[in-house]
Amino acid sequence: MNKISLTSHRKLTESNISFSFVGSIDVDIVDHVLAAVHTKLESETLSPGVKKRVYLVLVECLQNLCKQIESLNKTERVSTEINTSSASFAIEGVKGDFHIATANYIENEKIANLKNWLDEINSYDKTQLKQLYNKVLTNKSFSEQGGAGLGFIDIALKTGNKLIYDFETIDNEFSYFTINVKINNEI
Amino acid sequence: MATLIIEPTKKTPEINFNAEAGQLSLTGMSCSENALGFYQPIYQWLDENASIFPEGTTFLLKLKYYNTSSAKCILELLDKIASISSKNTPISITWDIDGDDDMRESAENYSSIIDYPIEIIG
């Protein structure tokens, strides 16, 4: 384990928030993290609008992560290489700008649809994103995991930034999906 | 049952619906990952009690946060209220935005989608 030095302590203290997690993730863990981040954000000297955006984007990122893992746990595909319940996420805030990253395993057959969806969202401006949001909002359908299909659109709207993502192939069945979002101090 | 009271939690709102008094309110956080499970009993209660709403019935929303899973459920709830209003007793909808511009935009968007007036206050 790396030693915590005075230098690393000072560096961490400069952050508004620095938090990372690796391991099996479920709804209870997500709820605890959200409560802790909410309390921490309330104590920060940021504008109420930024605090709210950071919290809501984190809610969408982590609930989406949980839904992807729930979906993966239902698959009959297995891998001896990886624990599909395992995932990771990190949140860091420096000088009011926040970065949120999540990572999880994904079945290779689901990559094409997800990539197309993220690319479509990234290709839209704010007006087009609002139109897409309303189109999905009014379709009344929910995924098997209770998802509304609005998460990534909402994140793009709330951050005003592109969704930075990557898929790394592990084997014939699975890949590793990472997504990074940035929330600027003032939008 | 003419009242529906659900205590708030860290991720679900307080529901205080009184059919005979004609007072319906939803306040707090709505960030459950399974929002549909929370809202379905509310839709059912509305279906069962809409016929006894008195004149002057009001529905007040005051949400601090809501997630995207709740966004669809809130739309269905507002749509249901608007539908009851046209078939039974007129219901006035008020959304207390508590000075939040994003929430004002949401309220205006919902009003436009359901084609029903929502009074914005706060």
Bigger pLDDT: A147 vs A103: A103
Q: Which B positions 40-59 lie with beta carbon below 8 A of chain A?
A: none
SS (H, E, C) B34-69: CHHHHHHHHHHHHHHHHHHCCCCEEEEEEEEEECHH
Residue A140 pLDDT greater than 80, yes or no: no
CA distance B99 to chain A (A): 11
Residue A187 is predicted with a pLDDT of: 53
| Partner-chain residue, chosen from B31, B72, B101, that has the shortest CB–CB distance to A137 | B72
CA distance B51 to chain A (A): 25
Q: What is the pLDDT of residues A22-62, one digit of tens each?
A: 988 888 999 999 999 999 888 888 888 889 999 999 999 99
Residue A139 is predicted with a pLDDT of: 87
Residue A86 pLDDT greater than 70, yes or no: yes
Q: Residues of B with CB below 8 A from A55's CB?
A: 65
Residue A2 is predicted with a pLDDT of: 62
| Partner-chain residue, chosen from A52, A55, A147, that has the shortest CB–CB distance to B69 | A147
| Partner-chain residue, chosen from A59, A138, A151, that has the shortest CB–CB distance to B31 | A59
- Percent of chain A, pLDDT > 90? 56
Residue A12 pLDDT greater than 70, yes or no: no
Contact B68, A151 (CB under 8 A): yes
Alpha carbon distance A133, A149 (integer Å): 9
CA distance B33 to chain A (A): 6
Q: Which of A80-84, A173-177, A179-183, B41-45 has the weakest average pLDDT?
A: A80-84
> Does B33 sit within 8 Å of A63, measured CB to CB?
yes
For chain A, the average pLDDT equals 87
The number of angstroms, rounded, from the C-alpha of A94 to the middle of its chain's C-alpha atoms is: 18
Residue pairs spanning A and B at CB distance below 8 A: 58
Q: Which residues of chain B have pLDDT under 50?
A: none
Residue A145 pLDDT greater than 90, yes or no: no
Residue A2, helix vs strand vs coil: coil
Residue A165 is predicted with a pLDDT of: 96
Bigger pLDDT: A65 vs A80: A65
The complex scores an ipTM of 0.94
